[in-house]
Amino acid sequence: MVNYTNNLSMVVDKELVHESLLTPEFVYHNNSQFETKNIQCSEILELPTAYIWDNVLTEEECSVLIEKLESSKSYSFWNPASQSKEFRNVDTIESNMNDFAEFLWKRIEPIFRYKILNIKEDDNFSEYDTIGEWEASTIYPKMLFGRYSEGGHFGPHTDGSVSLDINTRTFWTILIYLNTIPTEGGGATVLVDKRQKSLPFYKDKQDRDRSYPEFILSRVQPKCGRVLTFSFADMHEGEPISPGFYKYIIRTDVIFKRKDPILTSTHDQEAYKLWLEAQEIAEKGDPYKAVELFKKSFRLSPKLAELLKC
């Protein structure tokens, strides 16, 4: 069992923008001219868990989305507490996009290949609370909208898995490109060999955190309406944007539900919430408070303690 959390990008909570400011009108209207058969799927041979869908959104839909995002005047630097740009340089918006999530799932569900996940103990992203069979359910409504300008980039990282409860969580990243960038414009998403996870980052001439060239598996260039999807445990990087170009993306996840739910009692569910809270507190640097919550969680649910081997 591998601890995938060692390479997670830093999660910073930002004030959420209300979805009414960001959701375009086309989400509420049935596009009778859109046909799923026009979505083109491409495998990425170097990384079997990753693949590309083209034409998930139309050019007009992407254009309307960008206009809506810009008119909201909600973009701000991704980390309000720091202006460091060595690892990540992007302006972001975060929002709970419930209607847009439903719209996206209707487009993506017919072509999503990992509708069933059977996670075993020796899988590279398994944890004690993820082992079992899971079914893809919908798109996670909390979305991140990113705008990269000249020099904007995102160092090598893996994405987080969000636990809504012990039987509902995310496993697959959805990365949507809203505009096309030619190769000379930079901005490609680089899929990185897992060997990079155990090494320090390479520093480029601008002192940015980058992947070592020998660990680059594949590059995916932004294209209007394109979706790149991969396991949340797959390492990837956003390459710097060249002068004169911008990159607009949406980042979200696929939610899975456990096929045979476990620990369904009220006490077990409450204990798991406490355990998640304890993990978050520990990550924020308060181990003593975290330990107390861990103990409280396991007293409340001995079954959870047994599952997590604590």
Which CA distances in Å does 191 have to 186, 215, 249, 271?
Answer: 15, 9, 16, 37
Q: Name the domain count of the chain.
A: 2
Query: What is the token pair recorded at 128?
Result: 């004690």
Clarify whether residues 196 and 278 are in a common domain: no
Tell me the C-alpha distance between 119 and 22, whole Å: 36
Backbone angles phi, psi at 145, to 5 degrees: -105, 125
Clarify whether residues 13 and 50 are in a common domain: yes
- Which of residues 218, 236, 258 is at a domain's end? 258
Clarify whether residues 75 and 182 are in a common domain: yes
Clarify whether residues 106 and 122 are in a common domain: yes
DSSP-derived secondary structure letter, 20: G
Clarify whether residues 19 and 52 are in a common domain: yes
Tell me the C-alpha distance between 167 and 262, whole Å: 7
Over residues 119-151, the pLDDT tens digits come to 998 887 788 999 999 999 999 999 999 999 999
127 residue type, one letter? E
Which CA distances in Å does 120 have to 108, 113, 253, 260?
Answer: 26, 19, 21, 15
Tell me the C-alpha distance between 227 and 55, whole Å: 8
Q: For position 11, what pLDDT does the model report?
A: 60
Over residues 167-181, the pLDDT tens digits come to 999 999 999 999 999
Tell me the C-alpha distance between 64 and 52, whole Å: 22
Clarify whether residues 234 and 200 are in a common domain: yes
Clarify whether residues 244 and 291 are in a common domain: no
Clarify whether residues 130 and 197 are in a common domain: yes
Check which CATH number belongs to the domain holding 135 and give it: 2.60.120.620
Clarify whether residues 202 and 282 are in a common domain: no
Clarify whether residues 73 and 206 are in a common domain: yes
Q: Is the pLDDT of residue 264 over 90?
A: yes
- State the chain's mean pLDDT as an integer: 93
- Contact criterion met (CB below 8 Å) for 115 and 135: yes
Clarify whether residues 234 and 301 are in a common domain: no
Clarify whether residues 61 and 45 are in a common domain: yes
Over residues 19-71, the pLDDT tens digits come to 999 999 999 987 767 888 899 999 999 999 999 999 999 999 999 999 999 99
Q: How many residues does the chain have?
A: 310
- Contact criterion met (CB below 8 Å) for 95 and 143: yes
Which CA distances in Å does 25 have to 64, 65, 153, 169, 281?
Answer: 9, 9, 31, 29, 39
Cα 225–Cα 230–Cα 231 angle in degrees, nearest 5: 150
Tell me the C-alpha distance between 118 and 126, whole Å: 10
Which residues span the domain enclosing 9?
4-258
